[in-house]
Amino acid sequence: MPIAHASHAELLVSDIERSREFFTETFGLFVSDETDDQVYLRAWQDFDHHSLVLTRAPESGVAHISWRVEGPEDLNAFERKLKALGVDTWWVAGGTELGHGDALRFVSPSAGIPFELFWEVDRYVERDPAMQSKLPSHPQRFLGRGVSPRRFDHFNFLIDDVQTEQEWVSEHLGIRHNYYLAGQEELRLASWLAKTNLSHEIAFMRNRGQTGSHLHHVGYFLDAPDQLLRGATILMDAGYKIEWGPAAHGTSGANFLYVFEPSGHRVEVWTGGFLLFAPDHEPIRWDPETAPLGLEMWGSPMPETYLTYGTPLTPEIPAPTA
């Protein structure tokens, strides 16, 4: 099981200037690198070069989601394994995306999720003396500016067939199934998975409209429930639309809010909840009676858009060589 952890996402954004402003001024991420068409972002305690890439594009979408593997041998091993499964893979040379080495890419066969795996990575080093922390454990000074999450947390997708995707990802990528919502006649409504001790690093939720795969959101982690409420007030007063929350997932126990950034991607900021340590953890089942509490446990009503709206998956798949 050589995947180590979820690392970052590349989001295509239709309005890169306003998305950049949202993520830096209000959401509280930091720019670690920038080109004419890309902004590389990280939370204040993300240790690697970036956890989010914004790429200028005519339409918003998701270019890839990226995972770090456990060691230098794992990329080739994954290439062989995927080929054996009949999954096309291709390489993106190190430095094409700044901050990490050669990357193996593929799309998952059922839901078409654009995965990337890599090993070599640049740890973030703060070069601006005014932004260096007094603490060796802080890759940069803590400013508390904006919502100010501590670190990247997870990805979530709205797809048509949750169970098939979950089973493929668990079996072939070794990402453990942690909890799920079971609908009538065992129709799988949602599944959450992780390789680390986090409650989840990737989730799949059933697209109510059955309109194919979309990004539901990327999630960042904040230190405390009170900071989530403070963040909600900052977002409201800056004019951004909170779709849902602050409220609480019964599944993980985490407190959350969802907000739309200016290019249309949904972003979650969340805090708290459980970690899972048992090596033989059995996925926790939420049946049709308890599922509503699983999604939200205090009684905050789910907005209609929550299970219907997402942003498209737009992997840049190379043309087959003749």
Stretch that binds a second copy, among 53-61, 109-117, 206-214, 220-228 (CB under 8 A): 220-228
Of the residues 58, 86, 129, 299, which one makes contact with a second copy according to CB under 8 A: 299
- What residues between 62 and 81 interact with a second copy by CB under 8 A? 68-71
Query: Residue 82 CB, nearest distance to a second copy (Å)?
Result: 20
- What residues between 162 and 191 interact with a second copy by CB under 8 A? 179
Distance CA 105, CA 66 (A): 9
- What residues between 226 and 245 interact with a second copy by CB under 8 A? 226-227, 229-234, 236-239, 241-245
Among candidate residues 199, 122, 203, 179, the one with its CA nearest the CA of residue 294? 179
Of the residues 61, 99, 264, 294, which one makes contact with a second copy according to CB under 8 A: 294
Query: Residue 255 CB, nearest distance to a second copy (Å)?
Result: 6
Size of site (CB under 8 A) for a second copy: 73
Query: Residue 146 CB, nearest distance to a second copy (Å)?
Result: 7
Q: Which is nearer to a second copy, 185 or 289 (CB)?
A: 289
Among candidate residues 5, 169, 4, 116, the one with its CA nearest the CA of residue 70? 4
Q: Which is nearer to a second copy, 139 or 264 (CB)?
A: 139
Distance CA 118, CA 99 (A): 11
Distance CA 56, CA 13 (A): 5
Distance CA 252, CA 322 (A): 48
- What residues between 35 and 64 interact with a second copy by CB under 8 A? 45, 47-48
Strands 61-69 and 114-118: parallel
The dihedral through the CA atoms of 235, 61, 6, 20 has a sign that is: negative
Q: What are phi and psi of 229, to 5 degrees?
A: -70, -45
User: CB burial class (10 A; 0-12, 13-18, 19+) of residue 268?
Assistant: buried
Q: Should residue 293 be labelled a site residue for a second copy when binding is judged by CB under 8 A? A: yes
Stretch that binds a second copy, among 96-104, 155-163, 293-301, 312-320 (CB under 8 A): 293-301
User: CB burial class (10 A; 0-12, 13-18, 19+) of residue 53?
Assistant: buried
Q: Should residue 87 be labelled a site residue for a second copy when binding is judged by CB under 8 A? A: no
Which two tokens mark 285?
Answer: 């089942």
Contacts of 282 (CB under 8 A, 6+ apart): none
- What residues between 108 and 147 interact with a second copy by CB under 8 A? 133-138, 141-146
Q: Should residue 297 be labelled a site residue for a second copy when binding is judged by CB under 8 A? A: yes
- What residues between 188 and 217 interact with a second copy by CB under 8 A? 196-198
Q: Where are the beta strands (DSSP E) in the chain?
A: 3-13, 30-34, 38-42, 52-56, 61-69, 90-92, 103-107, 114-118, 151-159, 176-182, 188-194, 202-206, 214-221, 242-248, 254-260, 266-272, 284-286, 311-312
Of the residues 24, 163, 164, 300, which one makes contact with a second copy according to CB under 8 A: 300
Of the residues 85, 224, 308, 318, which one makes contact with a second copy according to CB under 8 A: 224
Site string (242-281) toward a second copy, x via CB under 8 A:
xxxxxxx-xxxx-x-x--------------x-xx-xxx--
Query: Residue 137 CB, nearest distance to a second copy (Å)?
Result: 6
